[in-house]
Amino acid sequence: MKIGLIGNPNVGKSLIFSQLTGVGVEISNYPGTTVDLCTGTVCHNRTQIEVVDLPGIYSLDGANSEEELVRDTVVKRAFDVYALILDATHLERNLYLLLQLIEFDLPVVVILNIIDEAAKAGITIDIDRLSSLIGVPVIPTAASLGRNIDQIIPLATSHARAGTYPVEYDLHIEAAVRSLERLAGTSRAEALLALQGFGTDPVLMEAAATIVPEIIDEHRMSVHQLIAANRHHAASRIASEVVTRNTPGLFSDPDQYLTRIFPGVPIMVAFLASMLTIVFVIGSYLEEIIVDIFEFLIVSPIKTAGFDPLISEVLLSLAIAIQAGLGVAFPYVFTFYLLISLVEDSGYMTRIAFLADRVMHRFGLHGQAIIPMVLGLGCNVPAIMGIRQLGTRRERTIAAVLITMVPCSARTVIIAGIVAAFIGIAAALSLYLIVIVLIVVTGVILSRITPGNPLGMVLELPPLRTPRLSQVITRSWLHIREFLVIAMPLLMVSSVILGLAGFYGITALFQNAVAPFMENVLGLPGFASTALLFGILRKEMAFETLIVLAGTANLPTVLTSLQLYIFALVSTLFVPCISTIAVLSREMGWKTALLIACYTLVLGLGAGAVLHLIFV
């Protein structure tokens, strides 16, 4: 048996999915987290049941790729049961999808989730009345508290039913549906889709195409608008029968402050600055301790042990890689992920997106791309996957370029570890400022020169919540584990290769070749070029490799403040990491990926050169 978890974005599908199946998936207080299918299994009454977490959608008749994917599963009856998850705090809007699902005559159970927040907001829903109106069983749940989650599978396996609340459409639509049913022998639901241009049966599509112009003539609006209006009307009728609202308390709405330019922007700047400061303070504190321990226990003994030079080189490379990775980068990576998970779960990230959108509007940039951009602060890779949801190629292109410039966690590690640690917090903030200005300028230029029409943004604010510790820990652990199992081994192997290359004089050849450029244009020593190159593997490796090559974690003994600053700026901007390039070329095509890589290369080197010119 197969159960599909379906519902609007951000209603808790993934959380319920992982509670049912134990499969860890990304859960966030963010619409559009899940963009692909995720499958898990549960055992119930000795049978294996497959559960699939579907991406969040508002309706089955939209044109974006998630809607298409989910619609396909419905039309092909890919699941035996649909467990429809509704957000109790936005019931009316969520009912739209229910009404549509009912038209497909599929077995459905309704999971009325987020009932805890509804109760807090003074919303009561008459569950029995709702269930009898729509003809399917309904259970109230609060997934974040685990409430009633255990009832979902028993209910879905034995009580799922096709619903019984037919939407009454406008007379012309009804007539059109009847004639399509007769002519092409289709179901009501498929006839409605065909009238909106969705379907594969040529007979049906042709018949629909001849009817549609008449309806449009009659009503002066599109068939899609007519159908949607009728469904909204039905949804609002149901909601008015089952929802009661108590007047909410007098507590002031924090969004009033957070989403206005004033005082929202100052709050946001203060917030981001304190986040960076915390990452730096905790990170550097841990760093000092761990580096000293490694120095004392591993590095010094190897240096003084008197091994054969080749063996000593290899051992030392390994030791310095471990020291640079675990001692220097890890404390920042760890602190950053913990903090960003906290912020994401609280819902504040979307407020930042909302504000950024308002600010960007002033520069003539429209905001759909903002959510993925803000997501890019964590990691560019999922952010770029998120641009699939953007409506047009134009929006996707602009977003792809801008996201690759957003300082992700790895770049924050570089900025905190090099600039904040050795030069100062103000310098680190100024570096962010430079990057933000470059993003805005790039955005403005791109929005002028990219063909197509700008789209507005419908940004929904998820509720502000107290972050849940377990979710924050699980999510940051996912990232931290990735650092430990992917980045660390990569760093160790690269470090040994670098050590050997250094031993046999290969690095010197390369560095000597690029040294004139590095020294004259960027004012950096030749070995910095190798570090920059390694930064393409993973961004924070630029920093770690710099330490490996400098042979010390105390960078100011080998580089001046200006050199450190320029190095951090160049490695922040210059060419995205390999994973980002890979996902860029998957989502946008290799030509776009290559163009973006070239652009950031020029931008990074250019910005470094300008700084060098100004300050030397």
Ligand X SMILES: Nc1nc2c(ncn2[C@@H]2O[C@H](COP(=O)(O)OP(=O)(O)OP(=O)(O)O)[C@@H](O)[C@H]2O)c(=O)[nH]1
DSSP state of 143: G
520 labelled binding-site residue? no
Nearer to Mg ion, 32 or 163 (CB): 32
Least Å distance, CB 70 to Mg ion, is 12
Check binding of 460 to ligand X (CB under 6 A).
Answer: no
From the list 3, 6, 15, 352, which residue makes contact with ligand X (rule: CB under 6 A)?
15
Residue 498 site contact among Mg ion, ligand X, none (CB < 5 to 8 Å, cut-off depends on kind): none
Per CB under 6 A, does 499 bind ligand X?
Answer: no
Whichever of 70 and 611 has its CB closer to ligand X, that residue is 70
Among residues 80, 116, 181, 288, which is the contact residue for ligand X, using CB under 6 A?
A: 116
Is 566 a known ligand-binding residue?
Answer: no
Is 11 within any annotated ligand binding site?
yes
412 is an interface residue for Mg ion by CB under 5 A: no
* Whole-number CA gyration radius for the chain: 28
Q: Which long-range contacts (CB under 8 A, 24 or more apart) does 308-317 make?
A: 309/503, 310/503, 313/499, 313/500, 313/502, 313/503, 314/496, 314/499, 314/500, 316/499, 317/495, 317/496, 317/498, 317/499, 317/500, 317/548
Rule CB under 5 A: say whether 10 interacts with Mg ion: no
Q: Does 11 bind ligand X (CB under 6 A)?
A: yes
> What Cα–Cα distance (Å) separates residue 198 from each residue in 6, 78, 186, 227?
20, 18, 13, 14
Binding residue (CB under 6 A) for ligand X from 3, 6, 20, 27: 27
Is 417 annotated as contributing to ligand binding? no
CA-angle at 429, arms to 423 and 434, nearest 5°:
110
Is 231 a binding residue for ligand X by CB under 6 A? The answer is no
Q: Which is nearer to Mg ion, 85 or 291 (CB)?
A: 85
- Reading the block at residue 472, the tokens are 């924050």
Q: Is 54 a known ligand-binding residue?
A: yes
Least distance in angstroms from the C-beta of 421 to ligand X: 33
With respect to ligand X, which residue has the nearer C-beta, 4 or 12? 12
The helices-and-strands tally (H runs, E runs) of the chain is 30, 8
Residue 13 C-beta: closest distance to Mg ion, Å: 5
User: Residue 389, interface with Mg ion (CB under 5 A)?
Assistant: no
E strand map for 291-439: none
* Cα 451 from chain centroid (whole Å): 26
122 is in an annotated binding site: no
CA angle 402/404/406 to nearest 5° reads 75
Q: Does residue 488 bind ligand X (CB under 6 A)?
A: no
Give every CB contact of residue 240 below 8 A, 6+ residues apart in sequence: none
- Using CA atoms, how far apart are residues 521 and 609, in angstroms rounded to an integer? 5
- In the structure encoding, which two tokens stand for residue 227, read together? 């159908």
Which of these ranges, 13-21, 206-214, 437-445, 502-510, lies near Mg ion under the rule CB under 5 A?
Answer: 13-21
HEC sequence for 412-435: HHHHHHHHHHHCCHHHHHHHHHHH
Contacts for 173-181: CB closer than 8 Å, 24+ residues apart: 173/215, 173/223, 173/226, 173/227, 173/230, 176/208, 176/211, 176/212, 176/215, 179/207, 179/211, 180/204, 180/207, 180/208, 180/211
Cβ proximity to ligand X, 29 vs 335, nearer residue: 29
> Is 350 known as a binding-site position?
no
**Max CA pair span of the chain:** 92
Q: What's the closest the beta carbon of residue 6 comes to Mg ion, in angstroms?
A: 11
SS3 55: coil
Q: Regarding beta strands 243-245 and 123-125, do their DSSP bridges make them parallel or antiparallel, or are they unpaired?
A: antiparallel
Closest contact distance (angstroms) between CB of 34 and Mg ion is 3
Count of residues binding ligand X (CB under 6 A)? Answer: 26
Distance CA 596, CA 318 (A): 34
Strands (E) across 196-322 are located at 243-245
Cα 307 to Cα 300, 303, 310, 312, 316: the distances in Å are: 12, 8, 8, 5, 10
CB burial of 576-615 (b: ≥16 within 10 Å; e: otherwise) equals: bbebbbebbbebbeeebbebbbebbbebbbebbbebbeee
Among residue numbers 351 through 380, which ones bind ligand X (CB under 6 A)?
A: none
Give φ, ψ of 247 to 5 degrees. -60, 125
Q: What is the DSSP letter of 248?
A: P
Minimum CB distance to ligand X smaller for 352 or for 568:
352
Q: Are 162 and 106 in contact (CB under 8 A)?
A: yes
Confirm or reject binding of residue 31 to ligand X (CB under 6 A). Answer: yes
Binder of ligand X out of 19, 21, 29, 447 (CB under 6 A)? 29
In degrees rounded to 5, what are phi and psi of residue 140?
-80, 135
CB of 517 to ligand X, least distance (A): 46
* 7 vs 325, beta carbon nearer ligand X: 7
Is 10 labeled as ligand-binding? yes
Q: How far is the CB of 7 from Mg ion (least distance, A)?
A: 9
117 binds ligand X (CB under 6 A): yes
- Is the CB of 15 or the CB of 488 nearer to ligand X? 15
The option from Mg ion, ligand X, none interacting with 116 (CB < 5 to 8 A, set by class) reads: ligand X
| 228: number of Cβ within 10 Å | 17
| Helix (H), strand (E) at residue 531 | helix 527-534
CB of 372 to ligand X, least distance (A): 13
If one asks whether residue 33 binds Mg ion (CB under 5 A), the answer comes out as yes
User: Considering the rule CB under 5 A, would residue 545 count as an interface residue with Mg ion?
Assistant: no
Q: Report whether 309 belongs to an annotated binding site.
A: no
Q: Of 14, 186, 350, 529, which lies in the binding site for Mg ion, with binding defined by CB under 5 A?
A: 14
Residue 196's SS3 state is coil
Q: Which stretch binds Mg ion (CB under 5 A): 6-14, 137-145, 384-392, 519-527?
A: 6-14
Site string for Mg ion, 34-63 (x = CB under 5 A): x-----------------------------
Q: Binding partner of residue 28 among Mg ion, ligand X, none, CB under 5 to 8 Å per kind? A: ligand X
Least distance from ligand X to the Cβ atom of residue 28, Å: 5
- Which residue number, 33 or 409, has a Cβ lying nearer to ligand X? 33
Residue 32 interaction partner, one of Mg ion, ligand X, none, beta carbon < 5-8 Å per kind: ligand X
Residue 13 contacts ligand X per CB under 6 A: yes
Q: Which is nearer to ligand X, 12 or 137 (CB)?
A: 12
Positions touching ligand X (CB under 6 A) are 7, 9-15, 27-29, 31-34, 55-56, 113-114, 116-117, 142-144, 345, 471
Annotated binding residues: 7-14, 21-22, 32-36, 53-56, 113-116
Positions touching Mg ion (CB under 5 A) are 13-14, 33-34
Annotated binding residues for Mg(2+): 21-22
